[in-house]
Amino acid sequence: MIGQAASALYVGVVRHLRTRPRAHKLAYRVFWMLLDLDEIDTLAGRLRWFSRNRFNLYAFRDADYGDRSGAPLRPQIEALLRQAGLEPDGGPLRLLTMPRILGYAFNPLSTWFCHRRDGEMMAIVYEVHNTFGETHSYVAPAAGEARIVTQEAEKRFHVSPFMGLDMHYRFHVVPPGETMSVSIDGSDAGGRLIAATMSGKRRDISDSTLLGLLASHPLLTLKVTLAIHWHALRLVLKRIPFFPHPASAAATWRGPSAAAGPARRTQSASGRAAASRRPAPAGRKTRRPGSGRARPAAAPSARQGGAASAGRRRPGPAAGAPAS
């Protein structure tokens, strides 16, 4: 798709399954926009119902992503890639996300597909948001143009009060084409606890399509937030164990280790930093004498195809989180 308009709509469904201690599942019809950073201004100029950084039926707001400072996003994402030991070359950065609809948006997960100039995908950045106003990014190298990308990471970010931090994620991704899907399995010491999938079919972006989706998916982004709290209440009624929000920690980083198998092995970076209107510090690396490898004061590790991660926090609601 290099050299052509890569931005598109994906219309599909989100499914969540919790396996224990009591089963719980949900499914909702949703849609996303796949936005090439270099095409957003062109789209905003061409479309009547889509804007960048101003109110419209649909809008993309730079400050909803990255460190939420509103600073240019490409340098922020490329900095994350470098901190994970990767070397971006200015290739396409494409974001799969739900836009603001009538001024409101909440994205539990926004996914960055990071390409080299020749079109090969080099990494996926999973930007996770919770309802406490915090955000955290997992950076996972990708093995070229594989049809299905499989990656893993240790959980480093509080998403739901019904899941602890001692978990492991496994990602299965079909990169955007005529279809796309992002599946996440979350496991703890007892085995698989949750399975979440977002999948959709591609549609071209046009004013008529945007109006049609507004009619078929009214107030979608608000419904996402309401659904999170509704299912949280259902989990409370099912007496699912509750995990309080952990104390914030200073941001720490680790560099990547050697490649392992078809997917590259990395170590993880974790933590949250108080956000401000200026970019939050990405953390400070220290070096073990004689090792030549960076390590933080308290450093978790990731498994094969693992993801480096970075977290930030800003003021937000004091209660509620995705209920999976």
pLDDT digits (tens, 9 = 90+) for 161-214: 999 999 999 999 999 999 999 999 999 999 999 999 999 999 999 999 999 999
Examine the pLDDT at 280 and tell me if it is beyond 60.
no
Domain count, the chain: 1
Examine the pLDDT at 78 and tell me if it is beyond 60.
yes
* pLDDT tens per residue across span 223-268: 888 888 888 888 888 989 888 888 643 332 222 222 223 333 333 3
Out of 139-148, 153-162, 189-198, 285-294, which region has the weakest mean confidence (pLDDT)? Answer: 285-294
Q: Does 323 map to a domain? A: no
Q: Is 242 exposed, middle or buried (0-12, 13-18, 19+ CB in 10 A)?
A: exposed
Cβ neighbours of residue 44 closer than 8 Å, sequence gap 6 or more? 50, 51, 52, 60
Domain that holds residue 225: 8-313
State the residue for tokens 């939050």.
Answer: 280
Mean per-residue pLDDT for 97-121? 96
Cα–Cα distance between 193 and 260 in angstroms, integer? Answer: 26
C-alpha angle 91/9/317, rounded to 5°? 90
Residues of the chain with pLDDT > 90, as a percent, come to 62
State the residue for tokens 């990471």.
Answer: 153
131 vs 110, which has greater pLDDT?
Answer: 110
Residues of the chain with pLDDT > 70, as a percent, come to 74
Among residues 89, 96, 104, the alpha carbon closest in space to that of 34 is found at 96
Q: Does 167 map to a domain? A: yes
pLDDT for the residue 247: 65
Q: Model confidence at 47, in pLDDT bands (50, 70, 90)?
A: very high
| Arithmetic mean of pLDDT over the chain | 80
Cβ neighbours of residue 175 closer than 8 Å, sequence gap 6 or more? 113, 121, 149
Q: Does 3 map to a domain? A: no
What pTM, to 2 d.p., does this model score?
0.78
Cα-to-chain-centroid distance, residue 8: 18
Q: Does 318 map to a domain? A: no
Mean per-residue pLDDT for 109-126? 96
Most confidently predicted of 71-75, 127-131, 148-152: 71-75
Q: Does 290 map to a domain? A: yes
pLDDT for the residue 310: 66
Q: Does 324 map to a domain? A: no
pLDDT for the residue 140: 95
Q: Model confidence at 306, in pLDDT bands (50, 70, 90)?
A: low
Q: Does 41 map to a domain? A: yes
Start-end of H helices in the chain: 40-46, 73-83, 207-216, 220-237
Q: Does 1 map to a domain? A: no
Q: Model confidence at 315, in pLDDT bands (50, 70, 90)?
A: very low
